[in-house]
Each structure stands twice: as structure tokens, then as C-alpha cells.
Amino acid sequence: MRTSLLAAALVCLTGAAFWPGVHGGFLFDDFANLPDLGAYGPVDNLRTLLLYLTSGKADPTGRPLALLTFLIDARNWPPASAFSFKVTNIAIHALNAVLLFGLVQRIERRIAPANTNPARVAAFAAALWAVHPLMLSTTLYVVQRETMLAGTFMLAGLHLWLGARARFETGNPRGGWIFALAAAGGCTLLATLCKANGALLPLLILVVDAVVLRRGDVTTPRPLSRARVVLLMLPAALLVAYLVWLIPSAMRAAAEFRPWTLGERVLAQPLIVLDYVRLLALPRALTAGLFQDGMAVRGALDLATLAAIAFWIALAVAAVRLRRRWPLASVAVLFFMAGHLLESTVVPLELYFEHRNYVPAMLLFWPLARWLAGGEPYARIKPVVGAAIVAVLAVTTHLGARTWGDTYRLAQTWALLAPDSPRAQTFAARLEMGRGDYAGAERRLARTLAARPDEIQVAFALADLYCDTDRYGPEAEAMVKTALATAGNGNRLSFDWLSSSIDSPRTGNCPGLDADGVERMLQALRSNAKLTASAGRKQDIAYLEGRLALERGDGAAAAAAFDRNLRLLTRPEVALNQAAMLGNAGFASLGLAHLDLFRQLYSRAYRPWPDMPKVHAWLMQKLKYWDREIDALRASLAADAAAKESTP
């Protein structure tokens, strides 16, 4: 009964701390990932469900299990609001808090001294983690449900490993193997289908098993030793080998898509992870949150980087050597470091995100919780101090959540906390523009662009402001051209902005911007080797050239550019879009020829491996989705071409 009451109190405390944030809106990657909810129509039948679940591109797995849970909140896009999504996120976070409470309590019952209260230790450990304000940017950022769900299955896997151990130790090897396979196999698979760092589960189980669960073992049953080797050590070794194998391709990806090299990223991580520790130890209601793009990378091994590397090496060595004397401190350190193995090493992700601490920090407060739970000296005072710390964290998180619940206020706060972040300043400026505060937005953007003239997003936002206020002219064009020619990243953003700009002369959205101006900006983009290195970016440029030719009424030039685009990357959705544009512009015959070219190029059959995009392409092929779409468009274009030929 006491355990149930503590778990219920933990859920209520977590919900109360985060609840004000449910009124906030969608942010950034939400808009990049959630629109798949409506990409193939409302998800209300098996066909659209399968197409939706295989549409993910974030990991090789596509994160289909996480995508499935978004259907709890909406079946189409855009939904009415983000409210339901955020409520579900808070519920998942509360569930994880209860799972962590149960895990620590089960381990405490196994290893704790006689005078320790396992339920109290577990309650403090789970509460200190659950209501910590650093969890705001995971829980209230809708798309980071993927991180939380991976954590759910990782916690479940740790629980199942405890069950496996108990069965091995009581002479039930069959039951032990079943539970061990479910833990290290089934839960790892489920966690990885939510987010790739779920693949860390065998390593995390190994850390907990080796440091705390083996304490007091007189003998280890042989089946348990075998399970540990096969299901924990071997997958952990394979994961490390995979990261080493990944380095060459990661170096190429970083050089192509990031403003830093892979070496610069690796050198930056020791200091970045130290900063995570600072925020965990000295919590704040609000941080710069999602806006860490102003962070400067260190190109060489300077003194601060060397000191950070030495610190982490020394800490890891100390944790291993002192694991018998201070097991809780050792497991907290090693679990934290192991939890950062994927996202804070050689995978060329962005440098810094707070949500990367969600799983690694789960055991970090356990040593403090053991001390706070009681025992001499100050046995009566320590639980009171612990309750006060939890209360302060909960109130701090509640205050931060109130800001998360007001998107405009959140943007202003982030802009203040991250003055060197172009993203933060652009986000705040666009919301200011939405409220009619063009003067404030212009001051903010002009100041940021003066410091970073190569920042595409800032230049585009300022150009949009000039368009909205009928002030777009040569000075604005020069500003955009400078950013396009010198930017180190922003590939897709360039494509999207130039694509929308092509329509401006026809729609009148931006007086002063004409087709010749778009052509000059496109030429500036062509001169930037960084933004045009990949086949995908060359394809984007060919598409923009075709769009621009259509705006000028030159069907032959447009068809030539679209054909070049299709030869670079042959995709059915590209062919359909371009053929439809040719038809809508009055060049139906050219549209039909473009579809014929697609039929010639699109000859290979997709196989459902090795990643989710290929599974999705294979499924689209099996369902004849593109065949039906192309046949329908072909019929329409043929009718238009025949009508044009019969017209005198």
C-alpha cells in the first residue's frame, strides 16, 4: 500500500510540475515530422496506417513505434492544437518516473543495508529525476516523445533483466533465458523502434548488472554468465564496433551538411557533456533550450578541451575502480557516460541538445537519494531536506512550464538567453512579425545579421519582413545573395525560400522581387560549393531552374531542367510534381514526355531493407500507390494535350 501511495504521489507531482506547458504550440522538428500524419490522407484504414508508419526518416528504423503513438492525439494534419500531444507526453514521462521508482526499489531491496528504506530511496531517486527542469525540453517538445518512449522500453528492459536474474539464481534457467531475451532482445528492439539510442540498452543493463546487481553474489549460475556474455557483452561490443565503422561515412556527412567537421564535433563533446552536468547540478527554470546553434566549435585541442577529456577519463577510471566501495556513485557515473555513447560521440548530429540527458540522467540522483532517505547522522532531518529539494525542483519546473505554455513568451526568453543563436533570434523575430511588431523584429534581425552575414535563416526572415512592409529592393537582394554564397549550412531552407520566392511576381506577395532577382539569387546559391555538393542539392537547383523557366513561360527550358532533376534522383513523387506543373502551365505534352522519362529511369524494384525509407518505397510499390497516381495524371495530361491540339 505504501509503495502504491508513493507511486501515485510521484505521478501527481510530475503532472502538476509540467501541466502549465500543455498550452504551448508545436516547435521546429514537430513541423518536420508530424505532417506525415496527413501525408496520405487521414490515418483511418490499414493502407494509410502502413504508409504512415513507414514514412519516418529520422533513423534507419524510421521510429515507427513512436509514430504509432502520435495517433493517440491526431489522425490527420494539422490538428486543432498541440494540447493533446503534450498531455500524452506528460503521461509518458509520469509512467517513466513510476518505472524508475520501481526499478530503484527492486535493486535497493537486493543490495541496500538493513537500516535503509528501499521505497523512500526509490521515491527520492525517481522524483529528483522526474521533476528536474532539464526534462522540460524533452517532455514539452512534442516530437521528443520518441526519446521518452525509448526510455520507457529501456526501463522495462532493466526490470525484465532483474526478473531474469532472479530466475537464474533460483534454478530456473528456462525462465531466466525467456526474461533475459525479452529484456536484452525484445525491449532493445522496441526501444530502437522509438529512437536509435534504444540500441544502448544491452550496455546499460551490463553497467547496472556489473556494478550493483553482482554485489553479494557468492557464485554466478552458469546460465546467467552465458546470458550476460551473449545478450549484453556481445551486443555492446557490436555497437562500439559499429560506431568505429561509421566514422568514415560520418566524416563525409559532417563535411557535406554541417558547419563543422566530425573531429570538431568530437572535441566539443567533453565540454558539452560537462555543461549538461552543470545544468543537472545547478537547475534553472529555463535555459537556451533548443537554441544551441550559436555555440562555437574548437578546432584544436586547447587547454579547456584537454582538461575536460582528462576529467572524463579520470572519472570513468575512478568509477570502475571504486565500484565495490561506492557502487551507487559508480553506477550513476557509468550509466550516464554509457547513455551518451551514441549522441555525444561520432554520429554527426547537432552539437548540443538537452533531451540527450533524458535516459543517461535516470540513475544520476540515486546516490543522493540514498543519503537523503535517512540513516545516521541526522536521520530525521535528511528526509525533510530531501522533500524540500524535490519541492524546489518541482516549483522551478512548474515556473519553466508556464513559459513553455506561452510560445511568444518562450521565444522572447530563448532569444534573451541565447543572444548568439541565429535560430533563437529568427524564431523570436518571426513571432514579433506575426504580432505586427515589425520595428522590433527588424532591429533584432539586423543586429544578428550584422554579426553573422552568412546566416541564411536570418537573411530570409529579414527579406520577408521587407516584403511584408513593401521595402524589398536591391539592398535586400544583396543581403540574401551574400548569405546564399557564404553560408555553411541551411541546404533545405535555401531551397524552400527560393521556391516560394519564384511565385512572388505572380502572387504579388513581395513587391520588388521579380524573376530576374530570383535568378540572381539562384546564381549566388550555385556558387556555394558547401550547399550544392550533394546530388540532393543539385536536384533542388535543377527543380528551381525549372520552376523559374515556367514562370517565364519557357516550357522547353523547364522540361530540360526537370528532366535533369529526375536523372539525378529518380523518385516518383518528383516526377509527378514536375509533370503536373508542366501540365498546369499549358505544356501537357512536355508533362507526358517527363512521365515517359520517369518510366525509363525507374526500373529497379525496391527491397524492404536495410532501412525504413526503402521499406516505405517498397510498400508504396506493392500498393501500386504511384502507379495509380501516375496513371491518373497521365490521363489528365493526355486529355489536355488532345484538347490543345484540336483547338484551332
Distance CA 303, CA 295 (A): 18
Contacts of 221 (CB under 8 A, 6+ apart): 168, 169, 171, 173, 176
Q: Which three cell numbers stand for residue 450?
A: 550584422
Exposure string (b/e) for 493-511, b if CB count within 10 Å is 16 or more?
ebbebbeebbebbeeeebe
Contacts 24+ apart (CB under 8 A), 431-438: 431/407, 433/461, 433/464, 433/465, 433/468, 435/408, 438/465, 438/468, 438/469
432-469 pLDDT, tens digit each: 999 999 999 999 999 999 999 989 999 999 999 999 99
Q: What is the pLDDT of residues 103-160, one digit of tens each?
A: 999 999 988 877 788 999 999 999 999 999 999 999 999 999 999 999 999 999 999 9
Of 279, 274, 273, nearest to 397 by C-alpha is 279
**What domains appear along the chain, each with residue ranges and CATH number?**
2-25+81-404 (no CATH), 408-646 (1.25.40)
Task: Please write the tens of the pLDDT for every residue from 106-121.
Answer: 999 988 877 788 999 9
- Cβ neighbours, 10 Å, residue 217: 11
Tens digits of residue pLDDT in 496-534: 888 888 888 777 788 888 888 989 999 998 898 887 877
Amino acid present at 585: A
Tens-place pLDDT, residues 309-356 = 999 999 999 999 999 999 999 999 999 999 999 999 999 999 999 999
Q: Which residues contact 315 (CB under 8 A, 6 or more apart)?
A: 333, 337
pTM attached to this predicted model: 0.93
